Amino acid sequence: MAKQSTTSGVNKNTQTQPAGLVNNNIALDELIPVISLLDYTLNLMRTQNSGRAKYMFKEFGERKEILYQDILFIIEEYRHFLADGFFLILDERVINRHGLQDITKQVLTKEKIEKILTGSKEAVALYKSCSDAQKKTIIGMVTRKLAVNPDAIDLNVVYELSRESGIKIQENADSARLLFTKEDSDSK
């Protein structure tokens, strides 16, 4: 007589999840959205053979879909770039799974940085709320924007940002503009 199985069709490897927990399993080949928060080139993850960047963001707000297996490496090797507000991972599952909530809550999003760069009423309060490293980046962005167009941002906001940062933004922008103008005239 054949033996009968004592399991009744139940997969022993199946685990029930406690109520209230979210399943945040992420496949290694899943694409995860990432956004650059710099107005200059950001390189993430160099390839071993060529030494060139595997992921190159060329402008502020540029989005790329990055394999989760590469995100794991980026979190490990470039965590300080994330903490400094150079980029954001836009998938909450990744943020939660790797305990990055404390880091990302101090990083301003693209939309909040745009409010500062347009001289919004909230600009100074937003500036005060971000990390020190991101504050330096934002001051650089404001300075470069004013160097190109002195009327690009409400000067009252520029004054308040200067006062808050201790950096003479308008003077730096004027100097940069003069330097660019001088270089242009010298090259002719």
Position of tokens 């928060």?
37
CB 177 within 8 A of CB 147: yes
Are 129 and 167 found together in one domain? yes
Are 181 and 115 found together in one domain? yes
Are 96 and 122 found together in one domain? no
Are 126 and 155 found together in one domain? yes
Are 98 and 115 found together in one domain? no
Residues paired with 33 in a beta bridge: 65
What pLDDT sits at residue 4?
47
CB 44 within 8 A of CB 37: no
Task: Let me know if residue 9 belongs to a domain.
Answer: no
Q: What is the spatial distance between Cα 111 and Cα 91, in angstroms, rounded to a whole number?
A: 16
Are 86 and 120 found together in one domain? no
Q: What is the spatial distance between Cα 165 and Cα 161, in angstroms, rounded to a whole number?
A: 6
What pLDDT sits at residue 86?
97
> Residues 17-71: pLDDT tens digits?
444 444 568 999 999 999 999 999 999 976 666 566 689 999 999 999 999 999 9
Are 79 and 118 found together in one domain? no
What pTM does this model have?
A: 0.79
CB 158 within 8 A of CB 142: yes
At 160 the three-state DSSP class reads: helix
Domain count, the chain: 2
* Listed residues 57, 88, 104: the one ending a domain: 104
Q: Residues 65-77, buried b or exposed e (16+ Cβ, 10 A)?
A: ebbbebbeebbee
Its domain, for residue 134, covers: 110-186
> Residues 127-153: pLDDT tens digits?
999 999 999 999 999 999 999 999 999
* Listed residues 66, 87, 104: the one ending a domain: 104
pLDDT band at 178 (very low <50, low <70, confident <90, very high): confident
